[in-house]
Amino acid sequence: MEEFVGEIWHKLITRQSRTDFVEARVELAGLQSQLATYFRALGGAPGKSVEGAELRPFATQRKLAQRVAGSHRRFPVCWQDERSLKLPLSLACFEEPELNESLFFWLTALAAQQPQVRHWLVDNQQATLALLQKRPGLAAGYQRLAAATLANRPSLDSLKGVEREREAALQQAIREPGSVAVLPRAKGDPLPVALWIYPAPLQVLGVASDDDLNDQGDGAKASETLEGSRKQAERTDDGKETDGLLVFKLECLFSWTEQVELDRPQEEDLDQDLSGVAEDLDIISLSRQRRAGSARIKFDMDLPSVHNDDLPVGEGTRLPEWDYRKQALIEDFCLLQPMLADDALPAAIPEELRAQARALKNRFSLLRPERRVQKRQPQGDEIDLDAWMDFVTQPAKNQTQQDFYLDRNQPHRDLACLLLADLSMSTDAGINGDQRVIDLIRDAMLLFAEALSGTQDPFAIYGFSSVKNKQVRYQLLKNFNERYGDEARGRILAVKPGFYTRMGAAIRQSSEILKQQPAQQRLLLILSDGKPNDIDRYEGRYGIEDTRRAVLESKQAGLQPFCVTIDEQGNDYLPYLFGDQGFAVVSDLARLPVLLPRLYLNLTGTQG
């Protein structure tokens, strides 16, 4: 009975305190792809992604019902940093869904106009004026949004003193942008303005040196993704000199006779819901201790021992990396280490793939140019006996005939392809009870190699993963000078999930290898399952910008980079990396092994 009454009371007080419009709610997830394109089209930084923003706490004046319900302490606002544009996960500010959707696009356009917010009141008014002057077509939509916003703000009659003056100034700034220069001071925070961009939340992260960033990443790495959004983070120094000393009064402890017995509910879940706890936190605190023993042990255990690892080939190759913040190429920043699975045994094509491999090889063999013999040539490899006999037996008819040679030319397809496969730890994810992502990538590489062996086109296959910039592992599976056979199949069958995805370094090395091929068309085919990332600063926009720079360098060298991804979110970032025609998203993962050879035919302009 108590639970029933409590549930009724909760619904009643929540209904009384609610000020949003649930029926008109619009989710960010349905508009995220459109908003990302809209943001870049209006001049926003192309390397930024569009992400969800957590509700931000504000100390606003609340009504009695809102205080009882515990609501109206956090509000959805928009902000941005150098990594991404943070939009509310959902909007229900207005009674009409069309207005909530229009608000998403207005915030995106305003964020593209002002990359940084220093003075919240002045900057938003100036950015609004500049945007309306540059894009006059947005004026009508802004007027509708402004009118709806003003209708939902507190009435001036309900306020007194400085609170009334502050609210009047805000409403004037919304109604006539640029007309208010100073916001009167008042107690607490004003009700958030849904039409404006807010500064990035303060994060007490401290200042780290370049060496610290190489070891443990930058501030962008200090937050975890939860339901498409990122938490705020702060650094906490837990290495105080007073650690270990506990001062308390013994008389404050409960005695045995003062113990209070509580009945533990039987339906309580004894397993901790850690994700739920993290979701409830506004700010996640990160330890500033660098000597985290458990983390160090876990990290070292993740790395294979020398005896169980693949064989390093050579001392490695130093490669540059693009730092978009400095707009400079940092020379010799990455160490790429070629790796060879020397313990992989030669193997034949697996039984379950033999039928597909045979069909693909037969189909691709039709593309192999046939050797042709041209008779009566002025020069060639052999003497054309028929032409010579005609000249001898009919000299009057063939007085001017001097072409007595056969030319046995061998036409060839002027193509070369390098397949670069992402072997990061994310490929260890399961698809069903029997297969993982890495299994389908392995099958795709095998069938691709079988198909190209039928055409006799020069091709190579490499895989990559990384552990920060100090070890970019570059798996040698099949090089251009090697004949495809059981040894190469054995190495492909032995691939396993690695670590992280420092894609820029792998693309640069693959481009250097492919540039050595004399073919006219040189295709760099990249097989990936997600965004570029690593456990240092390479996370987020830094990795995106470096990868894009590596792709541009590859194109400038006359190569043709093309990415095949199984990431459902690939349409959000791949156009910026590879161009509109430089990638393909495979929605049906199970079809990847068959689609990859077919894609090769389309890219090389041949028909099988």
- The larger pLDDT score, comparing residue 264 to residue 153, is at 153
- pLDDT at residue 306, as a whole number: 63
Confidence of residue 393 (pLDDT cuts 50, 70, 90): confident
Mean pLDDT of 240-264: 54
- What is the overall mean pLDDT for the chain? 82
- pLDDT at residue 148, as a whole number: 94
In 426-536, which ranges are E strands? 459-467, 471-478, 521-528
How many angstroms separate the CA atoms of 120 and 198, rounded?
7
Q: Name which of 284, 283, 88, 101 is nearest 198 in CA terms.
A: 88
The pLDDT of residue 518 is above 70: yes
How many angstroms separate the CA atoms of 263 and 72, rounded?
33
How many angstroms separate the CA atoms of 323 and 467, rounded?
18
Strand partners, 340: 311
Domain 317-365+413-603, CATH: 3.40.50.410
Q: Are 527 and 465 spatial neighbours (Cβ–Cβ below 8 Å)?
A: no
CA dihedral (419, 423, 427, 428) positive or negative: positive
Which residue is listed with tokens 């009435």? Answer: 155
Report the chain's terminal Cα–Cα distance, integer Å.
73
The pLDDT of residue 70 is above 70: yes
Three-state DSSP class for residue 343:
coil
The pLDDT of residue 303 is above 80: no
- The larger pLDDT score, comparing residue 463 to residue 17, is at 463
Confidence of residue 291 (pLDDT cuts 50, 70, 90): very low
- pLDDT at residue 133, as a whole number: 94
- pLDDT at residue 237, as a whole number: 59
- pLDDT at residue 354, as a whole number: 92
The pLDDT of residue 144 is above 90: yes
DSSP character string of 321-332: EEETTTTEEEEE
Confidence of residue 301 (pLDDT cuts 50, 70, 90): very low
- pLDDT at residue 302, as a whole number: 54
- pLDDT at residue 539, as a whole number: 85
Confidence of residue 280 (pLDDT cuts 50, 70, 90): low
Q: Are 109 and 131 spatial neighbours (Cβ–Cβ below 8 Å)?
A: yes
Percent of the residues in the chain that have a pLDDT greater than 90, as a whole number: 50
The pLDDT of residue 185 is above 70: yes
- The larger pLDDT score, comparing residue 240 to residue 6, is at 6
How many angstroms separate the CA atoms of 233 and 254, rounded?
36
Amino acid present at 431 = I
- pLDDT at residue 374, as a whole number: 67
Q: Are 347 and 486 spatial neighbours (Cβ–Cβ below 8 Å)?
A: yes
In 324-398, which ranges are E strands? 328-340, 372-377, 382-383
The pLDDT of residue 110 is above 70: yes
Global pTM reads 0.70
The pLDDT of residue 164 is above 70: yes
Give CA 319 to chain center in angstroms.
22
Most confidently modeled range among 72-76, 331-335, 396-400, 578-582: 331-335
Phi, psi angle pair for 389, to nearest 5°: -65, -40
For 111-143, the pLDDT digits (tens) are: 999 988 889 999 999 999 999 999 999 999 999
The full set of domain ranges for the chain reads 2-175, 317-365+413-603, 372-409
Confidence of residue 228 (pLDDT cuts 50, 70, 90): low
Mean pLDDT of 602-606: 80
Percent of the residues in the chain that have a pLDDT greater than 70, as a whole number: 75
Q: Are 461 and 327 spatial neighbours (Cβ–Cβ below 8 Å)?
A: no
The pLDDT of residue 86 is above 80: yes
Three-state DSSP class for residue 480:
coil
Q: Are 527 and 503 spatial neighbours (Cβ–Cβ below 8 Å)?
A: no
For 426-457, the pLDDT digits (tens) are: 999 888 778 899 999 999 999 999 999 988 88
- pLDDT at residue 473, as a whole number: 95
For 17-66, the pLDDT digits (tens) are: 677 888 999 999 999 889 988 998 999 988 888 999 888 899 888 887 77
Which residue is listed with tokens 């294979």? Answer: 304
Indicate the DSSP class of residue 217: -
